[in-house]
Structure 1
């Protein structure tokens, strides 16, 4: 019995030390105020052959609130441009609350480079001032999609990009002419995955939840939002459709901390 208690104490100390080390590491990461580039490879046999290796830079939830955020954004854009990306997608929410220095925001976002276009959808915050946010993105070279489909031409093949807002319904965008096409859905709120996964859509890209801020291993993010309650962080698959949720570029001003949900932008490589 004494040996069992001794082993239990050792195990408890090991777990405690591991937790302390994890907290110290997380505190260090948080203090650096970094935004990481997360690389993901998405493999699907229905991808047209010519698109094998096609790269997408995906940004969501900029949540800009002060000039320092623009400096930080400019830095990550330089890193993305060095990757020589094929397409850029923005998943919504430019500002944390009210807009500021709109021309400067457009100038910074305009620096984003891609070979085959820059596309965006509006987030829930953007829709509080949709005209201003749409203009900022348009000036930056983005085509803002309002519940519509765009063909993406690459070499001799085509895939389709579906841009949905929170009032959107993708059922009217899919018919017998494009049912068998390879499709990517860009929509800010991840819980639309329940609807998206009912259609022949291979990949959904979302943000909104910021990864749940505090991620518990084997459980996931614990902070939820409206239309971000069922799917909070990470990757999910249902009915041959995959959902990828970005943690977002920046926290909201009301939240000062994260745990295992580092600020991020994403690079997705499409593979057959």
Structure 2
């Protein structure tokens, strides 16, 4: 009998409990993933653009202010032109946003720090409070919005949408965007990448999956991890036509403070 992809994943995941109890991989230093993404017809002034990506920080008992300050230091050392933070700043309590903004208040990027909200920001229905705390600290929070950026005489657009389950509106985010111009989208969840590609968005950056967090194995492009039951976009670089998606493993954890075969990640993307 031929197994479907989903059946294959379910069968493979039966081995997780024993591995969890045998794992000592409770917390790792973030790994800086340096990635070059070739964008078709990228305007010359935008070639070499240096992007930093960090997601799923999950401020809380497993991510203290002191630990977040170390992450902020790593970000600043990348000397990024733009910093992207696509959601899940907190774990469960809206008050967790305050140690986070204190820890990240001094991060700098030449053209700004951009953020979108993840599903954890909506759980207690205080997403507006969280967004305001980020905005007051200098983050540009894009909630179904876009911002026009000018670099060396060339302009392009950064778009951001709310979490896909809690009010994402890509049409609204695309308002007044020149379709022929280069576009970068921040979407907490990567699930709708095929739709983003149809909108001719050249680069989407996402998180949410934690790269699987508990990864038993990787076979070709299939991650043997619980997250694979929900999405095929789990970690790293994906391409559909001329559109690119990068899914970061993030830096925080949820549920249990364990990562298996899945170190936390800060991503340094260079456009070529």
Unpaired runs of 5+ residues, structure 1, are 1-22
Q: How many residue pairs are counted as aligned between the two chains?
A: 244
How much does 1:132 deviate? 2.1
Task: Please say if 1:110 is aligned against 2:112.
Answer: no
* Residues 169-188 of structure 1: pairs in structure 2 closer than 5 A: 169-174=169-174, 178-188=178-188
> Using a 3 Å threshold, how does the CA distance of structure 1 residues 225 and 94 change in structure 2: closer, same or farther?
farther
Counterpart residue number, 1:245: 247
Unpaired runs of 5+ residues, structure 2, are 1-18
Counterpart residue number, 2:207: 207
Task: Please say if 1:236 is aligned against 2:233.
Answer: no
How much does 1:222 deviate? 1.5
- Other structure's SS at 2:198 match: coil
| In structure 2, distance between residues paired with 1:103 and 1:96 | 12
- Of 36, 44, 52, 1:49 maps to 44
How much does 1:146 deviate? 0.9
Counterpart residue number, 1:220: 223
| In structure 2, distance between residues paired with 1:172 and 1:61 | 25
| In structure 1, distance between residues paired with 2:120 and 2:228 | 13
> Using a 3 Å threshold, how does the CA distance of structure 1 residues 73 and 46 change in structure 2: closer, same or farther?
same
Counterpart residue number, 1:126: 121
TM-score between the two structures when normalised by the length of structure 2? 0.82
Judge conservation of contact 2:157–2:177 (CA < 8 Å) in 1.
no
Task: Please say if 1:94 is aligned against 2:95.
Answer: no
> Using a 3 Å threshold, how does the CA distance of structure 1 residues 96 and 225 change in structure 2: closer, same or farther?
farther
How much does 1:224 deviate? 2.0
How much does 1:175 deviate? 7.4
How much does 1:168 deviate? 2.2
Counterpart residue number, 1:258: 259
Counterpart residue number, 1:148: 145
Q: Decide which structure has greater helix share.
A: 1
How much does 1:144 deviate? 0.7
Judge conservation of contact 2:59–2:99 (CA < 8 Å) in 1.
no
Judge conservation of contact 1:110–1:139 (CA < 8 Å) in 2.
no
Task: Please say if 1:83 is aligned against 2:78.
Answer: yes
- Other structure's SS at 2:36 match: strand
Greater Rg over alpha carbons, structure: 1
How much does 1:45 deviate? 2.9
> Using a 3 Å threshold, how does the CA distance of structure 1 residues 101 and 233 change in structure 2: closer, same or farther?
closer
Counterpart residue number, 2:12: none
